[in-house]
Amino acid sequence: MNRITVEALGKKYKTYEKPYHRFLEAISSRKFYKEKVVLEDISFKVKEGESIGVIGHNGAGKSTLLKLLTGVTQPSSGRFEVNGKVSALLELGMGFHPDFTGYQNAVMALQMQGFNNTEIESILPEIEKFAEIGDYFSQSIRTYSSGMMVRLGFAVATSIRPEVLIVDEALSVGDAYFQHKCFDRIKEFKKQGTTIFFVSHDPGSVKNLCDRALLIENGRLIKEGNPDDILDFYNAIIAKRESDYQIKENQGTGIRSGNGKVSIDEVQLYVHDSPVNAIQVGEEVRLTVKYHAQQNDLEDLTVGFMIKDRIGNEIFGTNTFYLGRKISDAKIGVEKEVSFYFNANLGVGTYSITVAAHAGNSHINDNYDWWEHSSTFQVIAGTESKFVGVNFLSVKAEII
């Protein structure tokens, strides 16, 4: 069963250069507006119990898509269908009256969801408890901070498990503690079969929570699929926007972007001079990045790497700039290499390596070659003490 079906969905807005142009258009046959296309030809389906993450730049059309699915605005073309009880948390404070208290706004929100007075009275204590805003629950929400507003909004929207939960980026406003609390509730809903559709700029949340991701760019759905692949492609688009980069998808070798002034040829992990793709916790390793310049006299050439865990969280990254090792001998066509030495103080699991060659301390300055997921490796249990987490720390215990 499909909980959400979207077919050729589009949304256009009329924009007027001057406020009085609306009046002139109303009394004449002339057209004074220009059409602004926000969404165009969007099609996808979401199955029951599936979790979908929507990513894209600000202004790409993500929030407009959510407003269409929740009935806040109507489409200009195409159609959509949402089956089941829907709960939504969109813009901060949407649907709340600023002069009413948190309690009163919660009551009104529940009434609009079709609950009777008896049901509302039984739900309100849970809302107050989850929001954790204390005495402010009985005060006008005009006095609320943005964080308190999102606490109340999320508590109301998730007070009863919906069949479809739609969440915009509002959760990014909350503090870390409340964000963790919210995602715990969302994960619990997912286990119980709720279909989740949410917008987020947090790669870790998308990879950890979602079965599939949609990438929207300039109002169009340009890519959908596995969250890892979509987020890699999105990162390449981000790099492209910083300069005139050419993006290319390399089959089975991650996604690369850059202006081509430097080309990275090989990325390899070594233990005792032997290439490996599995290492033990705490083992000393050498990461070698081979590259060659496509032009002479590159200023401030920097080579660096980033280690990510299996869901895309950034674990550690550094580069030759941060390490104070200047590269000044890059010559066109001559292969060079940079070796990084470190102890793999990582938890057992699968990790990926992203490498980059750029100018200065960051690829934002001038990206020569960015290679997302250039390679992967396994960390297996070693002789160190047992521990949990992603980092191994040398710990001693003293009992007094």
The answer to whether 78 and 41 have CB atoms below 8 angstroms apart is: yes
Strands (DSSP E) found in 114-251? 164-167, 195-199, 212-217, 220-225, 246-249
CA–CA separation, 66 and 367 (whole Å): 34
Q: Are residues 134 and 174 in the same domain?
A: yes
pLDDT at residue 45 in the model = 96
With respect to residue 241, please indicate whether it lies within any of the assigned structural domains: no
> Are 268 and 190 in the same domain?
no
pLDDT of residue 242: 47
Query: Is 38 within a domain?
Result: no
Q: What is the pLDDT of residue 106?
A: 94
Within-domain flag for 248: no
Please report the sign of the dihedral spanned by the C-alpha atoms of residue 261, residue 338, residue 307, residue 301: negative
Task: Tell me whether residue 212 is in a domain.
Answer: yes
The pLDDT of residue 395: 79
Percentages helix, strand, coil for the chain, rounded to the nearest 5? 25, 40, 35
Are residues 65 and 168 located together in one domain of the fold?
yes
Is residue 54 situated within a structural domain? yes
Which of 182, 203, 232 marks a domain boundary? Answer: 232
Q: Could you list the mean pLDDT of each consecutive 10-residue stretch along the chain, which spans 400 residues?
A: 94 89 85 90 95 90 92 93 89 80 93 90 94 93 90 90 86 73 90 92 81 94 90 72 47 73 94 90 94 85 91 89 87 90 90 91 80 89 70 84
> Do 166 and 310 share a domain, yes or no?
no
The closest alpha carbon to 208, from 332, 77, 313, 336, belongs to: 313
Number of domains forming the structure of the chain: 2
CATH number of the domain that residue 314 is part of: 2.70.50.60
Q: Residue 19 falls within a domain, yes or no? A: no
Q: Which pLDDT value is given to residue 47?
A: 95
Predicted pLDDT of residue 170: 64
What does the pLDDT read at residue 147? 86
Which structure tokens are listed for 34? 């220009």
Query: Do 363 and 263 lie in a common domain?
Result: yes
Q: Domain range spanning residue 132?
A: 48-232
Residues 219 and 311 in one domain: no
Contacts of 398 (CB under 8 A, 6+ apart): none
Tokens of residue 304, six digits: 């660096």
Whether the Cβ atoms of residue 38 and residue 27 lie closer than 8 Å to each other: no
Matching residue, tokens 């290319």:
248
CA nearest to 10, candidates 178, 226, 196, 219: 219
Q: Does residue 17 form part of some domain?
A: no
Domain at 85, CATH number: 3.40.50.300
Q: Are residues 210 and 303 in the same domain?
A: no
The C-alpha atoms of residue 371 and residue 354 are separated, in whole angstroms, by 6
Task: Report which residue type is found at 37.
Answer: V
Same domain, 152 and 287: no
First CA to last CA distance, the chain = 61
Domain identity same for 263 and 158: no
Same domain as 192, residue 122: yes
Structure token digits, residue 273: 């001079």
User: What are phi and psi for residue 153, nearest 5 degrees?
Assistant: -60, -45
CB 121 within 8 A of CB 128: no
| Angular region, 28: left φ>0, alpha ψ -120 to 50, beta rest | beta
Do both 82 and 193 map to the same domain? yes
> What tokens appear for 277 in the block?
């793709």
> Shortest CA distance to 382 belongs to which of 278, 310, 298?
278
Residue 231: name the closest of 42, 137, 372 by CA. Answer: 372
In the beta sheet, which residues pair with residue 178? none
Structure-block tokens of residue 221: 């759905």
Same domain, 300 and 189: no
Rounded Cα–Cα distance for residues 351 and 376 (Å) = 6
- Residue 157 domain-assigned? yes
Residue 51's pLDDT is: 95
